[in-house]
């Protein structure tokens, strides 16, 4: 029997990305921000982020800002600038998104030593309450406006959310890197094959939906509500994909609970943009891809000490047993009829 200790399993080789973060001291953070003309007042708070390193800084003579230091090696400069350009485009349309601040030269992406970073305005607020029908409708409006802008051009350097990149590549990485315990490996391979097959069927039923520029990781954790208005943050995973990707993560509970939530979201959405109901066939497929991708994401980052601390339950026997079970449950859900869109 293999150990249940999550640290005892084979981890990915240590990478320069995680090593580089060890050099990101408070003095380096402050020096980086000062290099673009912002002078810290000594206040520095680490925010809840693992993929990147994100800090709230007090600034002399002005409001606090958020500095995001990008994970070395993940994105090219061109991909980061494309993210920045998209959010700046959205902000120009008065959509409440967190767009990066520019320096005196109009630049949003900055370099300091081994790091690339951007500075953002600091938004306050609380997490959204998903039983608030008016808030769901407001979120639907904002997503539709993001998509109206997103359909005006294509990304050149950002990824696509598709079966190959989120599903096949995730499975292949976990198997090749030897994260799956030997006694679970046959079940994992079998359930992944079945899940990928069902995902393909879901995409066929959806009729190969149109892809457009998306937030890509739009869930309640990336929304801050202040004075009744939702502010949308963290476009780090912006990508091309189907419109439903930016809606389904606000559905919670069973089908009976999700149906009215979906109705409110789409009531707001369709005030600004048409919605193709065939995309409802993708909800459980996209959830399955997210489950597969999330496991591979944790595995790819397992050499970063911050991940072992934040996700101590990952990579043990119990985790992989439950992962296989979750994929089996998703296969059953993908065989069901999609949610019904009941107009309100």
| 152 and 117 housed in the same domain | no
Residues 42 and 95 sit within 8 Å (Cβ to Cβ): no
Q: For residue 259, what pLDDT band results from cuts at 50, 70 and 90?
A: very high
Q: What pLDDT does 48 receive?
A: 84
Biggest CA pair distance of the chain: 61
88 lies in some domain: yes
Residues 272 and 144 sit within 8 Å (Cβ to Cβ): yes
Distance CA 42, CA 60 (A): 9
- Is 80 exceeded by the pLDDT of residue 12? no
Q: Please report, rounded to a whole number, the percentage of residues in the chain having pLDDT higher than 70.
A: 94
| Average pLDDT of span 262-287 | 98
Among 298, 302, 295, CA closest to 330: 295
| 31 and 66 housed in the same domain | yes
Distance CA 51, CA 103 (A): 24
Distance CA 30, CA 33 (A): 5
Catalytic residue (one of 162, 234, 236, 246): 234
339 lies in some domain: no
87 lies in some domain: yes
Number of structural domains in the chain: 2
- Is 60 exceeded by the pLDDT of residue 59? yes
| 140 and 106 housed in the same domain | no
- Is 80 exceeded by the pLDDT of residue 344? no
| Average pLDDT of span 206-227 | 95
First-last CA distance in the chain: 54
The pLDDT tens digits of the residues spanning 74-115 come to 999 999 999 999 999 999 999 999 999 999 899 999 999 889
Tokens describing residue 256: 């009976």
| Average pLDDT of span 54-72 | 95
Catalytic residue (one of 131, 132, 193, 217): 217
3-state SS, residue 324: helix
1 lies in some domain: no
| Average pLDDT of span 145-160 | 98
Q: What pLDDT does 18 receive?
A: 59
| 233 and 144 housed in the same domain | yes
Strands 62-69, 229-232: pairing kind: unpaired
Residues 240 and 213 sit within 8 Å (Cβ to Cβ): yes
Tokens describing residue 337: 């009829």
262 lies in some domain: yes
- 74: domain range? 16-121
4 lies in some domain: no
Distance CA 272, CA 270 (A): 5
Compute the residue count for the chain.
344
101, 121, 141: which is the final residue of a domain? Answer: 121
Q: For residue 22, what pLDDT band results from cuts at 50, 70 and 90?
A: confident
| 207 and 328 housed in the same domain | yes
237 is known as an active-site residue: no
| Average pLDDT of span 232-251 | 98
Residue 9: alpha-carbon gap to chain centroid: 26
Mean pLDDT, the chain, integer: 92
CA distances from 328 to 197, 258, 270, 331 (A): 12, 21, 34, 5
217 is known as an active-site residue: yes
Among 230, 228, 204, CA closest to 215: 230
Lowest mean pLDDT among 2-6, 143-147, 253-257: 2-6
| 51 and 150 housed in the same domain | no
- The domain that holds 328 is classified in CATH as 1.10.510.10
| 285 and 201 housed in the same domain | yes
Environment class of 61 (CB within 10 Å of its CB; exposed 0-12, middle 13-18, buried 19+)? exposed
| 144 and 283 housed in the same domain | yes
| 153 and 92 housed in the same domain | no
**Local structure of residue 307 (DSSP, 8 states):** H
| 176 and 289 housed in the same domain | yes
233 lies in some domain: yes
| Average pLDDT of span 19-39 | 89
| 112 and 145 housed in the same domain | no
Q: What pLDDT does 19 receive?
A: 59
Residues 315 and 6 sit within 8 Å (Cβ to Cβ): yes
Q: What is the b/e burial string over 90-121, where b = at least 16 CB atoms within 10 angstroms of the residue's CB?
A: beeeebbbbbbeeeeeeebbbebeebbbbbbe
2 lies in some domain: no
Q: Please report, rounded to a whole number, the percentage of residues in the chain having pLDDT higher than 90.
A: 84
- Is 50 exceeded by the pLDDT of residue 71? yes
Name the one residue in this structure whose structure tokens are 């294509």: 154
| 70 and 201 housed in the same domain | no
- Is 70 exceeded by the pLDDT of residue 176? yes
73, 93, 121: which is the final residue of a domain? Answer: 121
- The domain that holds 39 is classified in CATH as 3.30.200.20
């Amino acid at each position: 029997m293999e150990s249940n200790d999550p640290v005892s399993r084979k981890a990915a080789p240590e990478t320069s990305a995680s090593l580089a973060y060890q050099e990101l001291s408070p003095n380096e953070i402050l020096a980086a921000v000062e290099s673009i003309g912002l002078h810290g007042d000594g206040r520095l708070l680490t925010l809840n982020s693992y993929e990147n390193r994100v800090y709230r800084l007090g600034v002399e003579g002005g409001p606090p800002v958020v500095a995001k230091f990008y994970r070395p090696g993940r994105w090219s400069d061109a991909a980061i600038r494309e993210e920045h350009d998209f959010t700046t485009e959205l902000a120009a349309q008065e959509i409440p998104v967190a767009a990066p601040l520019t320096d005196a030269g109009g630049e949003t992406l900055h370099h300091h030593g081994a790091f690339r970073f951007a500075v953002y305005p600091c938004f306050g607020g609380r997490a959204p309450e998903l039983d608030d029908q008016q808030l769901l409708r407001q979120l639907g409006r904002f997503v539709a406006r993001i998509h109206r802008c997103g359909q005006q051009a294509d990304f050149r350097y950002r990824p696509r959310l598709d079966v190959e990149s989120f599903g096949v590549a995730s499975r292949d990485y976990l198997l090749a890197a030897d994260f799956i315990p030997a006694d679970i490996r046959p079940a994992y391979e079998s359930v992944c094959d079945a899940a990928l097959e069902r995902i393909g069927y879901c995409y066929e039923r959806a009729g190969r939906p149109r892809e457009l520029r998306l937030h890509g990781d739009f869930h309640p954790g990336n929304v801050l509500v202040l004075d009744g208005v939702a502010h949308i943050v963290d476009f780090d995973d912006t990508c091309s994909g189907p419109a439903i990707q930016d809606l389904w993560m606000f559905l919670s509970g069973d089908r009976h609970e999700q149906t009215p939530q979906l109705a409110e979201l789409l009531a707001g959405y369709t005030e600004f943009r048409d919605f193709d109901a065939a995309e409802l066939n993708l909800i459980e497929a996209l959830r399955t891809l997210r489950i597969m991708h999330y496991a591979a994401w944790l595995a790819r980052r397992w050499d970063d000490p911050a991940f072992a601390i934040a996700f101590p339950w990952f990579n043990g026997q119990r985790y992989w047993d439950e992962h296989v079970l979750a994929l089996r449950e998703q296969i059953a859900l993908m065989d069901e009829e999609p949610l019904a869109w009941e107009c309100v």
